[in-house]
Amino acid sequence: MSTGKRSTVHIDGREISALEGSNLLQVARENGIDIPGLCYHKRLSPTGACRLCVTRIEGRPGLVMACTVAVREGLRVTAFDDELEEARRHTLDYLLAEHDDDYDGTWRDELRELTDRYGLTDPAARRYPNICREIGYHADESSPVLTYDAAKCIKCFRCIKACEEIQGKSVLSFSERGIASHIIAGFDRWEESECDGCGECVQLCPTGALVEKPHRATIRLDRLERKVISTCPYCGVGCQIELNVQEGRIVRVNGVEDFSPNYGRLCVKGRFGCDFVAHPARLTTPLVRRQGELVPVSWDEALTLIAERFGAIRDGHGPDALAGYASAKCTNEDNYLFQKFVRRVFGTNNLDYCTRLCHASTVTAMLRSIGDGAGTNSIEDFARTDCLFVTGNNMIETHPVTATYVKAGVRTGMKLIVCDPKWTPLVKHAHIWLQPRLGTDVALLNGMIRQIFEEDLVDRQFVDERIQGGQDALRELRLQVEAYTPEVVETITTVPADLLVEAARTYARAPTAMIATGMGMSQQVTGTNNVFALINMMLITGQIGRERCGIDPPRGQNNVQGATDVGCSPRLFPGYIPVTDEANRTRMAALWGVSGEVLPADPGLSTVEIMHAAHEGRVRGLYIMGENPMVTDPDLNHTRESLERLDFLVVQDIFETETTRYAHVVLPAASFAEKEGTFVNSDRRVLRVRKAVESPGEAREDWRILVELAERMGAPIGQYESAREIFEEIARAAPMLGGISYGRIETEGIQWPCPAADHPGTATLFLERFNTPDGRAILNPVDHVEPGERSSERFPFILNSGRLLYQYHSATMSRRNNSLNSFVNESYVLMNPLDARRQELSDGERVRLYNGRGELTTTLRASKEVAPGELFMPWHFSESPVNNLTRGELDPLSRIAPFKLSACAVERVSTHTVRGQ
């Protein structure tokens, strides 16, 4: 372990200053002394298996492996002399005797590089004959994404440690002994193992024993045209990826080793999910609907038509008859210009996007209580805090790389409390699992708060200093939660009283504690109240306002954070300044070169409200950029009717989607890999997106389409040469991004708030004050309300919905990757085995789910992952659209829809076919 003290070591006569306790091999390499080695990797604990990094150390007998030595003052090391080099050559020679030398140019081979360096490439130069064939090594090619070839394996442990230490999965192990030993997953059959395909082992394999399967036939590393560092287009972790391009296509993706947030880690989607970019179904030309069919037209024709039709609606029915859906998949630059377009060209604040459907309630509650809706911490804190409370967040599947930090934290003593009505893989790592009935979160949290009062675990000093109303506010909260005794809460939630007490104690007593809250909390009619209750618990225990304390809502999409940061909201301008704030409106108007009256002052409609207004004829024209409401919106039958009633619908996307079916014009957009820009991840880090390949056909960057359309509609929104220029304007518009520029985030992103060019960015929010007018946080006592929708005799089940690791949102991107589809590509519904027996349904049967709003068919899986009376379905699969069953009823405070709780009935799909007469 490093002590923070520096010491001096001498390597081959060179004096080197290094941190005491740091790894000698690493220190040598960082100083340009290239001691060979194969089993050591800077992200792993040292192994000392390959024996190539042998050195001589004064005062120690024999040869010492540098990777096993911790630096201390006065260490004198010989790294290179004839004897050491001979020892290394001999070891290498010995390794090569069991090794298959075949090389097809598809992986970086560190062993091969060393073989070359030590003059052993020619078998005639070797001392030992090759016995690799006689050993009878086998290969495991059963995984959909990788192959393992034991004949190439040098048993260095890197893959095993990558899986265990970095990813926290421990899927790999050795089987057999001695010369026969080899790496296994599961019972020596990869495809049946717990391996989830993240490929960390492949990235760290030094010899080509583990190689990616996709594109293996075409990729040749010496023919790569470029490697482009960018940001992953899937979830909100914001992993830094290296896109390897050959013949104009992305053929491989690696994790970028040295930078936050992922330090080389990826999940299966990041590594194997970029094939959609080159998918043949990409939109390549504008399409206009004629006689019911979408037909290709020129850009000029499409844009002229759009300008005419949107213009006519604006002029004939007023600006508020138009609306826009921005996109959490697009860059900040795209989204900034989209909101500028809607406000300046349409002249309305009817502007929203899918954030309304995921974290709107979280953000609403956080804004009202503590003044910012973004996560308070950095991703690294998930490994460093003393206690983590994960609620309604299936993190291992939805934010797999964040989960790697959590698992690392658990290994070093962090207490993990998971709260979820459904079993999630994180439960395996948890100390406490609370399994409340769906829709009873407020009761559970009020119960925990009451227990915290009972045991006097309240942080009085924090309450006095940092909460509005201090002790008075505290008393009010105490009164509100008085009725929630552990016994009462057990009746409401089914969570055993002793478990609730233990969870409350564990959270409140921890020296530092963090909360990760997800869709399970937010996507309810009581979503905002749920998060209020969570924040109340956090505030009275003082588990915020310090490092490694706070609340973090990991973001579902790559740029949900950024799209709101840059103003894609019916209520907020860039930088979270309300549209009703006149001074700011004037400031924005000046920045945009228009007069203040041009910008609409009234808050606009939100996502589901826009659909309701379309249904009622109040909204007549809708511009959708990169969203797919025909999968993602609640109550799809209603959504379909709404879209059908529109006079004019424009959808701009990279593929045809369930929504483009209703569009009058479809515009082909550039994917993330075809443009420059920035995303903001869940820890408020502004990260660069870079162009790696050309767009197919005539597809264009979203912002270029917006600029040209604005011209044609007679309300220019600016002349920009590049995304960089747009970002410079964003930095002027949103004060919290004011100090960030492309130049500063060339290698590593910066976390906002970053108000000035010399500001380092902010790792933890609210260390000094909350972002409220008086700097103090606000308690919002709330009561449990029984869910508006309950099970009944007609609809006896409560359906929950969520995401899977291998698919993503409406699946527009993820289902266009064979690698991901080979893991999971089918809809299913989970039902508790007791219920299945009672309903006389069996595992694997086709079933119909229905309620008053709609129906769907899917496959039944009997599983203890759900409680009796409850069901769970992944919502990615549009052939079994979960949102046929969900409600458009909205949380009164945040306007979020209750995706997590719909009553429905289940019946067997009749196997008898009715024959025609």
Partner 1 sequence: MVPTQTLRKHPPLQENLLLILHELQNGSGRNYLTEEDLQAVAEYLNITRAAVYGVATYYSMLSVKPRGRHVIRLCKSPVCDMMGAPGVTRILEELLGVAVGETTPDGVFTLEESACLGRCDSAVSMMIDGQYYGALDAPALARIIGRFRRG
Site residues, partner 1 (CB under 8 A): 169-177, 184-188, 193-194, 428
**Nearest-approach distance from CB 425 to partner 1, in angstroms:** 12
Coil, strand or helix at 888: coil
The DSSP line for 491-552 is HHH---HHHHHHHHHHHHHSSSEEEEE-HHHHSSTTHHHHHHHHHHHHHHTT-SSSTT-EEE
Angle between helices 527-540 and 441-454 in degrees, nearest 10: 20
CB 541 within 8 A of CB 482: no
Nearer CB in complex with partner 1: 182/809: 182
**Nearest-approach distance from CB 186 to partner 1, in angstroms:** 4
The DSSP line for 120-162 is -SSGGG-SS---HHHHT--EE--SSSEEEEGGG----SHHHHI
CB 87 within 8 A of CB 66: no
Nearer CB in complex with partner 1: 196/565: 196
Euclidean distance between CA atoms 756 and 760, whole angstroms: 9
**Nearest-approach distance from CB 160 to partner 1, in angstroms:** 9
Nearer CB in complex with partner 1: 171/897: 171
CB 326 within 8 A of CB 567: no
The dihedral region occupied by 617, where left means phi > 0, alpha psi between -120 and 50, and beta the remainder, is left
Euclidean distance between CA atoms 881 and 438, whole angstroms: 21
Euclidean distance between CA atoms 93 and 510, whole angstroms: 54
Euclidean distance between CA atoms 772 and 390, whole angstroms: 26
**Nearest-approach distance from CB 426 to partner 1, in angstroms:** 13
**Nearest-approach distance from CB 498 to partner 1, in angstroms:** 20
**883 half-sphere exposure, CB direction, 13 A CA radius:** 29
CB 265 within 8 A of CB 404: yes
**Nearest-approach distance from CB 204 to partner 1, in angstroms:** 17
**Nearest-approach distance from CB 262 to partner 1, in angstroms:** 23
Task: Report, in angstroms and rounded to the nearest whole number, the Rg of the chain calculated over CA atoms.
Answer: 29
Nearer CB in complex with partner 1: 173/637: 173
CB 859 within 8 A of CB 609: no
**Nearest-approach distance from CB 838 to partner 1, in angstroms:** 25
- Looking at the chain, the number of H-run helices and the number of E-run strands are 30, 36
The DSSP line for 695-744 is PSTT-B-HHHHHHHHHHHTT------SSHHHHHHHHHHH-GGGTT--GGG
CB 241 within 8 A of CB 256: yes
**Nearest-approach distance from CB 202 to partner 1, in angstroms:** 16
Closest CA to 157 of 119, 201, 93, 107: 201
Coil, strand or helix at 308: helix
What size, in residues, is the chain?
Answer: 917
Nearer CB in complex with partner 1: 186/596: 186
Euclidean distance between CA atoms 595 and 587, whole angstroms: 10
Tokens of 392: 């309604």
Which strand (E) or helix (H) includes residue 11? strand 6-11
**Nearest-approach distance from CB 805 to partner 1, in angstroms:** 16
Euclidean distance between CA atoms 619 and 609, whole angstroms: 10
**Nearest-approach distance from CB 183 to partner 1, in angstroms:** 9
Going 152 to 156 to 160 to 161, the CA torsion angle's sign is: negative
**Nearest-approach distance from CB 194 to partner 1, in angstroms:** 5
Nearer CB in complex with partner 1: 185/636: 185
**Nearest-approach distance from CB 294 to partner 1, in angstroms:** 49
Nearer CB in complex with partner 1: 201/302: 201
Euclidean distance between CA atoms 763 and 760, whole angstroms: 9
Nearer CB in complex with partner 1: 181/218: 181
Closest CA to 107 of 222, 227, 211: 211
Tell me, letter by letter, the H, E, C secondary structure of 30-76. Answer: HCCCCCCCCCCCCCCCCCCCCCCCEEEECCCCCCEEHHHCECCCCCE
**Nearest-approach distance from CB 373 to partner 1, in angstroms:** 36
H-state helical runs in 734-807: none
**Nearest-approach distance from CB 178 to partner 1, in angstroms:** 10
Closest CA to 698 of 299, 322, 133: 299
**Nearest-approach distance from CB 188 to partner 1, in angstroms:** 7
Angle between helices 360-369 and 527-540 in degrees, nearest 10: 40
Nearer CB in complex with partner 1: 188/845: 188
Euclidean distance between CA atoms 204 and 139, whole angstroms: 18
Euclidean distance between CA atoms 663 and 831, whole angstroms: 37
**Nearest-approach distance from CB 140 to partner 1, in angstroms:** 12
**Nearest-approach distance from CB 680 to partner 1, in angstroms:** 36
